[in-house]
Structure 1
Amino acid sequence: MIAGLCLLTGNLVPFENMYGQDASNLSQLGKSTIEDVIASMTLEEKAALVVGTGLKMGEKEKNMGFQIPNQPIPGSLADKTKVYVSGAVGRTLEIQRLGVTTIEMVDGPAGPSFGSRTTAYPIAINLSSTWDVDLVCEIGKCMGNEVLEYGLDLLLAPGMNIHRNPLGGRNFEYYSEDPLLSGKIGAAMVTGIQSQGVGTSVKHFVANNQESNRIAVDAVISERALREIYLKGFEIALKESDPWTLMASYNSVNGVTATENYDLLTTIVRNDWGYEGIIMSDWDTGKDPVEQMKAGLNLIMPGPYQDTVIIQAVKSGKLQEEVLDKNIAWILKNTMRSPKFRGYNYSNKPDLDNNAKIARNAGAEGMVLLKNDVNTLPLKDKDKDIALFGNGSYVTNVGGSGSGFVMRAGPTVNIIDGLINSGYSIENVSKQAYTNFIQENTPKQNMMDAIRGRIKRAAEMPVTKEFAEMIADNAEVALITIRRNSGETEDRKIERDFNLTETEVGNIETITKAFHAKAKRVVVVLNVGGVIETTSWKDMPDAILIAWQPGQEAGNAVADIISGRINPSGKLPASFPVKYEDVPSARNFPGSPAYKPEEVVYEEGIYVGYRYYNTYNVETAYPFGYGLSYTEFNYSGLKLSSPKFKNQIEVSIKVSNNGKVAGQEVVQLYISAPKNKLDKPAEELKGFAKTKLLQPGESQTISFNIDGNKLASFYSEKSAWIADAGEYTVKIGASCEDIRLSQKFNLKNDILIEAVSKSLVPKVEINEMKNEL
């Protein structure tokens, strides 16, 4: 290993000139023990190391009039830390004399976002819809390589929060309503990114499930709901992929701010889970840096004033220096993993062309076919015109806004571009009408909003009966795009967002009637970042495809599905309710008072998403795990290794492609557990696997392992995971409602799987939803 940055650059001021010390007598990170390096630090250096810096403005940014908060205090240690990569959103302190290199960080979950050209990858919900951990790992490798080759150290991704409510503003940035799917996909992403020698930051820990007053809201959650739903995905990712950092969230959990919560950061993360990475804050979180240090927050982002408070606290005895040193040790240990510390000679030339190809494929693989009457898709005849309706057909959303937006991505391929690239002919009258309308009605953009993806769009163009009938004379098929955007700092709205606007529903109805009158087909493409209402209009069109926001290659990826070049294999990672009022958290989201919630009580408990709909027999528009294909799959030969559970049970199932085209299927394993002691959901996802590309007539055997962890529920009064004695049912299906085969097995006696700490106990009683025994 290279001992420090001093050995990597020839233009640095010699140590003795800077500090009046002989560098040869100083401890060096990588050569000396971490304890020795800490002992060589001044108190000022220690305090500055646990308080990072944010985006540091240069003269160019100042001259452009940028207003960026939290700039380092001129002349401070943080101010002296060199900026190696312009646009890095944060960095740790560099201490050259001790060989301590800086860790430079960059947003975000859909690809690195800073001053250089990078790739906008499909959003998280698009990737989780693939249910393909290998493909997600491959995307992670591409992201990680861009971070590495641009000289950065740490990507602030992935986001791991649960889709508690479809109005969550950052659901596009998170994976699923289910903790197992979230955890496995998140672990795959981390593994892929970190395989390139750079770090990740799993975020936002924990219960940051809304944007409404996220800085101050207190999430009141039962111990069981926390352990089974909101902590579980993070636990899976931390244990299976060892991310370099874990980012604590803004909100409070059961009365204590997450970044000042000892139960959360130390008792659970360090003691229960054994995590050894850096625990850092989200930007500008928490109020008391001393309490943050005591709680086990290692790195406060991004300063610049907390170090002074920490110094004073140590001098006054309010903060023991040993506590400070322990936090520093975690930072130093993980600093030695970074490319800068290892002296990596980056190229500034990642393979963006290759990354775009992989992004295109992933975007298509994550699209979900909701409806396909009379085999409307794929569209085989490319010689006949497609009429494109909806502004999103011409200006397609590739991702969400905020820190999840990729600032300088490659060129956006809109849906119209992708279809043309694939050889389709586009009806010209509708094309010209939309082109003119969008140009004339798009508002002027604010530069800072545009940088973060908060791009103002033209309102949807109303389509008259006469116009639709004229276009139906000219075109063979209509493709209508419904577009949505959401992002950081604001949750979505019910009207004109979750629900379609009157113009959108009216357009679908008008266009469908006009085309159906001439025996022609209508396809709706949903260019969205999350769940929307479909029940009121889904019977009108012939086909519905959720394209999500599939990154910069959006149009090409949509065309790959529309043309049949790729057979859709995506499955929903979140349930689509019939109406918003059916959502279990609808009555208390985003908390009270509604205009600026101070508290949100998770009264639905463990009954999130399909756990609620299936248990309480509430109809959905489209269930969790649902998705159609251009072919058909048959499930057969379900086998369990034993009808009695001892240590584990092996499960195998044969999946066959009975259709006429090649395709992949996502096999989902659910378990129904005995409910004689504890109320439980009707079933829970406990495993999933995606087949290889099966040719017509080809089969594959899929295997699963069921161990005690998959049977256990959390008993709050015992602070333990326990597998209850009784009868269990293994259910194999194509969605949580489409169960193809099932078998039962028995567990003779209760098994204590794991005893954990008594932590995060709510301070108030929760009137929690329960499935009566």
Structure 2
Amino acid sequence: MDPPGRRAERPRHRHLRSRRRAGIPLLPGPGDGVGAAARGSPVSADVDLLVGDGQWLTHADPAGGARALRLSDGPSGLRRERADGSTIPATCFPPAATLAASWDPDLLEEVGVALGEEAHRLGVDVLLAPGVNLKRTPLCGRNFEYLSEDPLLAGVLGAAYVRGVQSIGVAASVKHFAANNQEHRRHSVSAEVDERSLRELYLSAFEWIVAEASPWTLMCAYNRLNGVHASQHHWLLTRVLREEWGYDGLVVSDWGAVHDPAAAVRAGLDLQMPGDAAAPPLLRAALADRSLPEAAVAQAADRVRRLAQRCGPERPTTGIEDVAPAHDQLARRAAAAGTVLLANDGTLPLTLPARSRLVVIGRQASRPVIQGSGSAEVVPTAVSTLQESLRLALPDVRVEFAPGYDWEELVEGRRVPRDPDSPAAQRLRAQALALASGADAVVVCLGHPHGIESEGYDRLDLDLPADQDRLVAELVLGAAPVVAGLTTGAPLVLGEWRHQLAALLLPGFGGQAGGAALADVLLGVSEPGGRLAETWPLRLTDSPAAPTYPGERGTVRYGEGVFVGYRWYDALEREVAYPFGHGLGYTTTALTGIEAVVVDPARAVVEVRIGVRNTGERPGGCVVQVYTGEDDPVLPRPPRELRAFARVRLEPGEQREVTVELDGRAWAFWDVVGAAWQRTPGRFTIAAGLSSRDLPLSTTVTLPADPAQPRFVDEDTLAERLQGR
């Protein structure tokens, strides 16, 4: 039986059945009495509302009841600019990649509330977040801003984030719609994606968030989708988003993403940002020659007014000093919750007696990289370091530090590798190795300097800097147990030394409190709560996008189809370094049984119950993951897909039953010919476990046919797709 009050253990994974409005009353929509006709003003007067006023503001319409609104980055903290262009400090929370590793919707909602509170206090009406694009390639420079390679996980967590932000009266802006999965040539590249892959993967997280959180705004992408710029893609912005999903919010462009203002408005764009003096005359000319319908302008302007009504009256800028300490503690808790323990021989958590020696190595421990680069970059209110946090937490232990390596040089955002055999690199390495000799434990912090992972360009490879690779390879040859921590927002390819470590942690980008949070995890004050939200491959060439990234002649073909992330590796039975969903805790967990009951055959609703028990000696948590797969699919389908998950925290020896509900979408594929979600009758396997590769429990259900018979077209198998690349 589920205990009362534990929402995360009985999640609402009912595939778009509800239209939850996050407690926000619905206001009149376009055409419901707030339009130009109701105000008695001509449609041409609406044009100014469709284009921003400068970099961050919208135009006001006092006659129409709309004040000017302020928009601001970003996903992990406010980037509110002053008049002189400087940035007001704000809490720098862990970015989306780290938050997603928590697999905790309640935490994402709590962080969203905090971001909304800071936006409210800094006079920001629209927070340009969250980013929910799928992680198609591990090279994407902006992956640290995105949640997952899996659309369900991205959708559930993104919806929670949106609900938190908007509960304060601040609009969230879900981005980047759609198929913005690389930074390379992002302004012009055309993502060539078949409709089934779009529906099942690249649009799915957006669809979930629209249905479950009703975001007040949604941001279109820079790239082209199948040849058409996202900002003027009628099928995407009108047919799918508004007509099929029923979206009633505002669509805003990414900054500078509009190429043809009139075409964008015709397609369904409401607000072009930033301000552009050339746009209003072009829109008025299009109205005059009737190439732009008046109704399209009126609808877009009404949506801008409606957003202003939702955001409420202008609020004074009061500053965040009163909430900053609490938000710093939340950032610390969130960073620990997103820290993934990839391997552990029992060394962690560290237990160090008085007068023992703990050696900390690495620039990341003293000058941490807390976030990625680009528009998401935050000026933090404070920054903790692992070096100082350990010294404060262990007053009776000798905590000693050596840099071990120096940062690489950056030239136009690209790294210039330092030669590991250079005199400077050898000297730093020798100092670190000498200090580690005779230590009771060694913690080495690894990762790239600030600027390698960034908006605007992609990474060149998945390698650690050569001098860091050499350093840790020599450290593990010593007598002291070595614990490594990886500061990164995306996967790395690690050397064979990873198998010789005492423990391997992935704190990722930890935000401003990441140093203190990592100390908490190392010492057992906090549990390493993270589970991987993306697969870590053994080699870059193993990844699904490797054969077609970054594209050629202005296009990139998504030739892998629906086989992205773990779906790809599992279909090919390809070995990975660390699988999707993987992560260890400081206790052990056993899944003790699984039962699936078809509670509504007509709608294919299935209730799944899983027993889980803490078999260790410490309190701790795990993430129970539920996957489904069709036993004899009529179309090429992944062998298993995540359909539900639940975080569970248990006392030693405690056992609990976790219940999740799956509905028809859990078994369905997109039927391109029938233009609908369909399922074929037959047997499906339901598997439960602790990662996509650790699924000890399974059962089957047999489901009837859909009332509407599918009219699908045979597709290439995965093998045929591979041959055709």
Mind listing any 5+ residue stretches in structure 2 that lack a counterpart?
1-27, 81-86
CA shift in 2, pair 1:276/1:381, >3 Å: farther
Q: Is the CA contact 1:644–1:747 (under 8 Å) kept in the aligned structure 2? A: no
1:91 match:
57
How far does residue 330 in structure 1 lie from its aligned partner after superposition?
1.6
Other structure's SS at 1:704 match: strand
Other structure's SS at 2:477 match: helix
CA shift in 2, pair 1:626/1:41, >3 Å: same
Letter in 1 for 2:73: D
1:733 match:
689
Task: Decide which of 340, 346, 361 is 1:368's aligned counterpart.
Answer: 340
Q: Is the CA contact 1:720–1:755 (under 8 Å) kept in the aligned structure 2? A: no
How far does residue 743 in structure 1 lie from its aligned partner after superposition?
0.6
Q: Give yes or no for the alignment of 1:418 onto 2:389.
A: yes
Distance in 1 between residues matched to 2:453 and 2:142, nearest whole Å: 7
Distance in 2 between residues matched to 1:579 and 1:445, nearest whole Å: 26
> Aligned ranges for residues 45-194 of structure 1 at < 5 Å?
45-55=45-55, 90-114=56-80, 115-194=87-166
1:505 match:
469
Other structure's SS at 2:606 match: strand
Letter in 2 for 1:280: V
Q: Is the CA contact 1:278–1:334 (under 8 Å) kept in the aligned structure 2? A: yes
Q: Is the CA contact 1:662–1:694 (under 8 Å) kept in the aligned structure 2? A: yes
2:453 match:
486
- Structure with more relative contact order (C-alpha pairs < 8 Å, separation 6 or more): 2
Distance in 1 between residues matched to 2:433 and 2:267, nearest whole Å: 66
Q: Is the CA contact 1:666–1:734 (under 8 Å) kept in the aligned structure 2? A: yes
What CA deviation, in whole Å up to 9, does each residue of 1:495-528 have, x standing for no partner? xxx11232122101111112x3xxx200110011
Q: Is the CA contact 1:387–1:426 (under 8 Å) kept in the aligned structure 2? A: no
Determine which structure has more spread, i.e. the larger CA radius of gyration. Answer: 1
Task: Decide which of 544, 547, 550 is 2:510's aligned counterpart.
Answer: 550
Distance in 2 between residues matched to 1:243 and 1:29, nearest whole Å: 14
CA shift in 2, pair 1:575/1:336, >3 Å: same
1:85 match:
none
Mind listing any 5+ residue stretches in structure 1 that lack a counterpart?
1-27, 56-89
How far does residue 749 in structure 1 lie from its aligned partner after superposition?
2.1
2:614 match:
657
Other structure's SS at 2:659 match: strand
How far does residue 467 in structure 1 lie from its aligned partner after superposition?
3.5
Other structure's SS at 2:721 match: coil
Q: Give yes or no for the alignment of 1:563 onto 2:523.
A: yes
Letter in 2 for 1:109: P
Task: Decide which of 671, 682, 688 is 2:645's aligned counterpart.
Answer: 688
Task: Decide which of 298, 310, 313 is 1:325's aligned counterpart.
Answer: 298
Distance in 2 between residues matched to 1:707 and 1:631, nearest whole Å: 33
Task: Decide which of 713, 720, 723 is 2:669's aligned counterpart.
Answer: 713
Q: Is the CA contact 1:576–1:623 (under 8 Å) kept in the aligned structure 2? A: yes
1:298 match:
270
Q: Is the CA contact 1:722–1:751 (under 8 Å) kept in the aligned structure 2? A: no
Q: Is the CA contact 2:673–2:711 (under 8 Å) kept in the aligned structure 1? A: no
Q: Is the CA contact 1:720–1:752 (under 8 Å) kept in the aligned structure 2? A: no
Other structure's SS at 1:690 match: strand
Other structure's SS at 1:239 match: helix
Letter in 2 for 1:259: S
2:591 match:
635
Other structure's SS at 1:482 match: strand
Per mean C-alpha deviation after superposition, the further-off stretch among 531-540 and 236-245 is 531-540
Letter in 1 for 2:177: F
Percent of counterpart pairs with the same letter? 32
1:241 match:
213
1:14 match:
none
Q: Is the CA contact 1:723–1:751 (under 8 Å) kept in the aligned structure 2? A: no
Letter in 1 for 2:698: S
2:186 match:
214
Letter in 1 for 2:345: D
How far does residue 430 in structure 1 lie from its aligned partner after superposition?
4.1
TM-score, normalising length from structure 2? 0.88
Letter in 1 for 2:47: A
Other structure's SS at 1:303 match: coil
Q: Is the CA contact 1:643–1:744 (under 8 Å) kept in the aligned structure 2? A: no
CA shift in 2, pair 1:727/1:770, >3 Å: farther
Other structure's SS at 1:717 match: coil
How far does residue 487 in structure 1 lie from its aligned partner after superposition?
1.0
Q: Give yes or no for the alignment of 1:748 onto 2:721.
A: no
Distance in 2 between residues matched to 1:629 and 1:172, nearest whole Å: 23
2:16 match:
none
2:13 match:
none
Q: Is the CA contact 2:361–2:432 (under 8 Å) kept in the aligned structure 1? A: no
Q: Is the CA contact 2:71–2:125 (under 8 Å) kept in the aligned structure 1? A: yes
> Aligned ranges for residues 466-485 of structure 1 at < 5 Å?
466-484=430-448, 485=452
Distance in 2 between residues matched to 1:457 and 1:167, nearest whole Å: 18
> Aligned ranges for residues 239-318 of structure 1 at < 5 Å?
239-304=211-276, 305-318=278-291
Distance in 1 between residues matched to 2:61 and 2:419, nearest whole Å: 52
Letter in 1 for 2:652: P
How far does residue 239 in structure 1 lie from its aligned partner after superposition?
0.9
CA shift in 2, pair 1:317/1:750, >3 Å: closer
Letter in 2 for 1:688: F
What CA deviation, in whole Å up to 9, does each residue of 1:450-505 have, x standing for no partner? xxxx99999987356753542133522111111134111010111xxx11232122
Distance in 2 between residues matched to 1:457 and 1:329, nearest whole Å: 53
TM-score, normalising length from structure 1? 0.83
How far does residue 335 in structure 1 lie from its aligned partner after superposition?
1.5
Distance in 2 between residues matched to 1:394 and 1:619, nearest whole Å: 35
Distance in 2 between residues matched to 1:505 and 1:444, nearest whole Å: 19
Distance in 1 between residues matched to 2:279 and 2:565, nearest whole Å: 40
CA shift in 2, pair 1:459/1:545, >3 Å: farther
Letter in 1 for 2:613: S
Other structure's SS at 1:216 match: coil
Other structure's SS at 1:323 match: helix
How far does residue 288 in structure 1 lie from its aligned partner after superposition?
0.7
Letter in 1 for 2:549: F
Q: Give yes or no for the alignment of 1:531 onto 2:491.
A: yes
CA shift in 2, pair 1:37/1:336, >3 Å: farther
Other structure's SS at 2:91 match: coil
Distance in 2 between residues matched to 1:752 and 1:566, nearest whole Å: 51
How far does residue 53 in structure 1 lie from its aligned partner after superposition?
2.9
Q: Is the CA contact 1:108–1:156 (under 8 Å) kept in the aligned structure 2? A: yes
Other structure's SS at 1:237 match: helix
Q: Is the CA contact 2:222–2:230 (under 8 Å) kept in the aligned structure 1? A: yes
Q: Give yes or no for the alignment of 1:671 onto 2:601.
A: no
Task: Decide which of 672, 680, 685 is 1:724's aligned counterpart.
Answer: 680
Distance in 2 between residues matched to 1:40 and 1:426, nearest whole Å: 75
What CA deviation, in whole Å up to 9, does each residue of 1:245-282 have, x standing for no partner? 01000101111110111000000000110000001110
